[in-house]
Chain A
Amino acid sequence: MSPRTARRLGWNAVGIVVFVTMVFPVFWMISTAFKTDDQLNSVTPTWVPTHPTLRHFRDALARPYFWTDVKNSLIVVLVTVLIAMALAFFAAVALSKYRFTGRKLFIVLMIGIQMLPATGLIIPLYVVLARYHEVNALTGVILVYLTFALPFSVWTLRGFIIGIPKDLEEAAMVDGSTRLGAFMRILFPLVAPGLVATSVFAFITSWNEYIWARTLLNDSSKQTITVWLSYFLGTSRSTDWGALMAASTLTAIPVVIFFLLVQRRIAFGLTAGAVRG
């Protein structure tokens, strides 16, 4: 064996150890969800459930408010994404196709707002929403989610629109269409994948959101799925770990599927241009 091959084998071994360590918590969640109670309560862990059971999933689904809160999450997330996309799309067009006074300020605000920690805004938004009786209402949560979904969508969509070749747009203008008209007919289909990717990412952030939902929604029947999951542990000493891991798996599934679809498209948005810049 040449030293080169030996070294590569060594790195591969390290790579596999890192893989196992990183993925273990996810594996452990899924594996736990299928274990029998005996295997769960034993001090010596069972690594792979030999007699998988679906009982924990049934228990989790039968818990009060699971479906109600899934429905709440879906309403909040879908409305947020729809409004964010509709408004952000036009702003993104303006940013990428026009130069105008205040453009720079607008960009700074869009990026800066995304950096603000949610906790820093809880007090003022809570007080304002309480004044307009939007506490404990899904509308209030949707409005708050727009504060981060909008800037994010504007900035990300801008990146997708810039990626479109200028000659395509110009070709349409030669035909005598107005600028916006040309844009709509020719470029909209080209931007569609970007719109999908941005929507999915806004979907994930809103679905995962916790602090706002917990602060603004008090009724069990009005909460979102992440809040439902966070209350699962309760205060009793005998936690139903199997059902908790089954519920966790169920909460993660939609996010994981969506994330795998768009990760490549969006992931570099945050640092895009850093390499070229």
Chain B
Amino acid sequence: MPYLLVAPVVVVMGAILGYPIYNLVRLSLQKYGLTELIQHHGTEVGLHNFGTVLHDQVFWHTLLRTIVFTVANVGLTMVIGTLMALLLVRVSTWVRILLTAGLVLVWSMPPVVAVQVWNWMTNSQNGVLNYVLTELHFGNFFQHNWFVTPFSQLAMVTTLVVWGALPFVAITVYAALSQVPHDLVEAAQIDGARSWRIFRDVTMPVIAPVLLILTSLSILWDFGVFTQAWLLIGPGHIVPSNFLMGIYLYEEGYVRTDFGRGAAISILMLVMVAAMSVVYVRRMLRIGEVE
């Protein structure tokens, strides 16, 4: 009986994902460009595609850049998100309701919409960001262009990605904080423990599993960022010096219609992501087993 129930999903997933993944492996061993796409037939080249990718300076630079980008984004998201959750515990009820409602609103913004709002806020002619920074005396940002250097471009992408990810982290950590036993915190306070020690020794152990899951999810998401970087930097301004892994793959494989090489990069990327997702999948599996 259970097999009958699972069968439709297995069949459909096998057809729309299993077969393409089998194809991915085959493509990666072939020379497969536009001509081959039309003829439906590639030429076997062995591991040539992997060889050229692994000898490509751009690949290694992109990988390094993506790792730095991921660490920065995940770090900022987790630290600020946790701080927001701790703030939610400390404010009055009406502020908490207001802030939570605001966070949910931000959470619900479609990424493409958020990108367009960022485009408008950061444009050099009359973007509100330059105006506010100048008014707050951070310097003269009159007509400052944020999209000149790769660092500045990716910094803007980071603000967009972190802004979008904060609500999920803040609200989830807040929910976990409500599990922290009150009497334990009070006992620690009576003993004269400082708030940092209470956080480290009482709060942290309770919310650690949630933080672990959120961190591994964030790593997976930020490592694979595409839409925000692609659209905010702008397809016309995407160059090797600002590539992230997803964009490198898209440019090399799809835009240049070198599908064999693209397939090789895809496999390398998927293997990296699979390795990173082990923590999350194992955790979720245990939940699936318990129930």
Give the interface of A toward B (CB within 8 A). Answer: 8, 11-12, 14-16, 18-19, 22-23, 25-26, 28-29, 32, 40-45, 87-88, 90-91, 93-98, 100, 103-104, 106-109, 111-113, 115-128, 130-131, 143-144, 146-147, 150-151, 154, 158, 162, 179-180, 204, 207-208, 210-211, 215, 226, 229-230, 232-233, 235, 239, 241, 244-245, 247-248, 251-252, 255-256, 259-260, 263, 267-268, 270-275, 277
Tell which of B9, B88, B266 touches A87, judged by Cβ atoms closer than 8 Å.
Answer: B9
Tell which of B95, B116, B236, B270 touches A244, judged by Cβ atoms closer than 8 Å.
Answer: B116
A25 CA to B115 CA in the complex, in Å? 10
Q: A112-B277, A128-B19 are in contact. List 17 more A-B contacts (CB 8 A).
A: A11-B95, A22-B163, A25-B118, A29-B113, A88-B9, A90-B6, A91-B8, A94-B2, A94-B5, A119-B245, A120-B246, A121-B24, A124-B263, A210-B227, A233-B234, A244-B120, A271-B217
- Flag if A252 contacts B113 (CB, 8 Å): yes
> In the complex, what's the smallest C-beta–C-beta distance from A136 to chain B, in angstroms?
14
- Flag if B5 contacts A90 (CB, 8 Å): yes
Chain A residue with minimal CB distance to B8? A87
- Flag if A25 contacts B121 (CB, 8 Å): yes
Q: Report if B198 contacts A (CB, 8 A).
A: no
Chain A residue with minimal CB distance to B25? A124
Contact A150 B20, CB 8 Å, known A29-B117, A120-B270: no
> In the complex, what's the smallest C-beta–C-beta distance from B112 to chain A, in angstroms?
4
Tell which of B6, B175, B273 touches A116, judged by Cβ atoms closer than 8 Å.
Answer: B273
Contact with A along B116-136 (1 / 0, CB 8 A): 111111010010100100000
- Flag if B23 contacts A124 (CB, 8 Å): yes
Main DSSP-derived SS at the B contact region:
helix
Q: Could you name 16 residue pairs across A and B whose Cβ atoms are closer than 8 Å?
A: A16-B98, A25-B114, A26-B105, A26-B109, A106-B6, A115-B274, A115-B280, A154-B9, A158-B288, A210-B227, A248-B113, A259-B107, A271-B172, A271-B214, A273-B291, A277-B287
Give the interface of B toward A (CB within 8 A). Answer: 1-3, 5-6, 8-10, 12-13, 16-17, 19-21, 23-24, 27, 32, 37, 40, 84, 87-88, 90-92, 95-96, 98-99, 102-121, 123, 126, 128, 131, 163, 166-168, 171-172, 175-176, 179, 209-210, 212-214, 217, 220, 223-224, 226-227, 231, 234, 236, 245-247, 249-250, 253-254, 259, 262-263, 266, 269-270, 273-274, 277, 280-281, 283-291
